[in-house]
C-alpha cells in the first residue's frame, strides 16, 4: 500500500529554517522530519512512498538521490573517478517524487498523484506531523467500516499551565500543560479509498483538501475518524521544532517507535 506525504507547503511560520529548505526538510536530531514520518510507516511495514513536492522540491529530490551515499562508508579514488561503497545503512524506502506545483493547494496536490495510486486504497499524511499512531490498527479500523475515508483525530494538550487561587491569592492548584478541552482535531494519518478522487475533480489548484473535498466526503457520510489517544505533534512553528529537538535529544521522542 502506498503512502502519500504532502510536502509542498511554504512553512512561513518556520521562516528561520524554510528560507533555505522546504518545511519537511527541517531537521530533528540531524534528520529531516520527513524521514521521521517515513520511519513511522516503515516500522509498520509500509515503505512505498509518494511525496508531493512544491516549494524548493528539488532539495527533497537531491536528498533522496544522494541518500545511499550519505548513509554508506565509501572510498573515492579521485585520479580515476572510482567509487567503492563498503557499507550501507539505508532504509528500504521506495520513493516517488512528484512535482505538484509551487503554489498548488493540498487538494490539487492530491489530485495530481491519482495516476500513481490507481484504484488502490492508499494512506495520506502531512509532511510536518509525527505520532506514535499504530498504522496497522488504523488500517484495520478503516477496512472495518467500509467508508471512503478515515482520518486520525487527536486531542491537543493545553499550551499554558492552569492556576486556581483563593481570594487571597494563595495557589490552591497548579497544573502544567493540562489536558485539552475535549475537542478532537484532524491529526492527518488518513486512509483513503480511490473513490475520494471523485471529490477532487476539475480545477483544484487553489482548493484546500480540508476546506472542500473533506467536508463533502463527510457530508456524504463517507468519513470516519480513528481516535488516537497517544502522542502527536505538529511542527507548526519554531517553538514546536525546539520542543521536538529537545524530546529527541533527551531520548524521550515518543514517536520513535522503530529501533
| 97 phi and psi angles, rounded to 5 deg | -105, 120
* Assigned domain for 138 exists: yes
- The residue segments making up the domain with residue 66 are 2-249
Indicate the pairing of strand 122-126 with strand 171-175: unpaired
- Distances from the Cα of 53 to the Cαs of 21, 100, 104, in angstroms? 12, 6, 10
Q: Residue 118 domain-assigned?
A: yes
Inside any domain, residue 256: no
DSSP states along 34-91:
HHHHHHHHHHTT--EEEEEE-TTHHHHHHHHHTHHHHTEEEEEETTTTEEEEEEE---
Number of CB atoms found within 10 A of residue 44's CB: 16
- Residue 255 domain-assigned? no
Q: What is the CATH number of the domain that holds 22?
A: 3.90.550.10
CB of 6 closer than 8 Å to CB of 34: no
The number of folded domains in the chain is 1
Check residue 93 and give its pLDDT. Answer: 95
- The helix (run of H) or strand (run of E) holding residue 255 is none
**Assigned domain for 259 exists:** no
- Provide the whole-model pTM: 0.88
C-beta of residue 253 within 8 angstroms of C-beta of residue 259:
no
Q: What is the pLDDT of residue 181?
A: 59
**36 located within any domain:** yes
What's the pLDDT at 83?
Answer: 87
What does the pLDDT profile of the chain (259 residues) look like in tens digits?
A: 999 999 998 877 787 788 889 999 999 999 999 999 999 999 999 999 999 999 999 999 999 999 888 888 889 999 999 988 887 677 889 999 999 999 999 999 999 999 999 999 999 999 999 999 999 999 999 999 999 999 999 988 765 556 677 777 777 766 665 566 568 999 999 999 999 999 999 999 999 999 999 999 999 999 999 999 999 999 999 999 999 999 999 999 999 999 8
C-alpha 38: how far from chain center: 8
Amino acid at each position: 500500500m502506498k503512502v502519500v506525504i504532502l510536502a509542498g507547503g511554504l512553512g512561513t511560520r518556520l521562516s528561520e529554517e524554510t528560507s533555505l529548505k522546504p518545511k519537511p526538510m527541517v531537521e530533528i536530531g540531524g534528520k529531516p522530519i520527513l524521514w521521521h514520518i517515513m520511519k513511522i510507516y516503515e516500522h509498520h511495514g509500509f515503505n512505498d512512498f509518494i511525496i508531493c513536492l512544491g516549494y524548493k522540491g528539488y532539495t527533497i529530490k537531491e536528498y533522496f538521490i544522494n541518500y545511499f551515499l550519505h548513509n554508506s562508508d565509501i572510498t573515492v579514488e579521485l585520479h580515476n573517478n572510482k567509487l567503492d561503497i563498503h557499507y550501507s545503512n539505508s532504509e528500504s524506502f521506495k520513493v516517488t517524487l512528484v512535482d505538484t506545483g509551487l503554489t498548488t493547494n493540498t487538494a490539487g496536490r492530491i489530485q495530481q498523484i491519482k495516476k500513481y495510486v490507481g484504484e488502490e486504497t492508499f494512506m495520506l499524511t502531512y509532511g510536518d506531523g509525527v505520532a506514535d499512531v499504530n498504522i496497522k490498527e488504523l488500517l484495520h479500523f478503516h477496512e472495518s467500516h467500509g467508508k471512503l475515508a478515515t482520518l486520525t483525530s487527536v486531542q491537543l494538550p493545553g499550551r499554558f499551565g492552569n492556576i486556581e487561587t483563593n481570594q487571597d491569592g494563595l495557589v490552591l492548584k497548579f497544573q502544567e500543560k493540562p489536558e485539552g478541552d475535549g475537542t478532537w482535531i484532524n491529526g492527518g494519518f488518513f486512509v483513503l479509498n480511490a473513490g475520494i478522487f471523485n471529490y477532487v475533480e476539475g480545477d483544484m489548484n487553489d482548493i484546500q483538501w480540508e476546506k472542500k473535498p473533506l467536508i463533502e466526503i463527510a457530508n456524504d457520510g463517507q468519513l470516519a475518524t480513528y481516535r488516537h489517544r497517544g502522542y502527536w505533534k505538529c511542527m507548526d512553528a519554531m517553538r514546536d521544532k525546539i520542543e521536538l529537538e529537545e524530546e529527541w535529544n533527551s531520548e524521550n521522542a515518543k514517536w520513535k517507535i522503530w529501533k
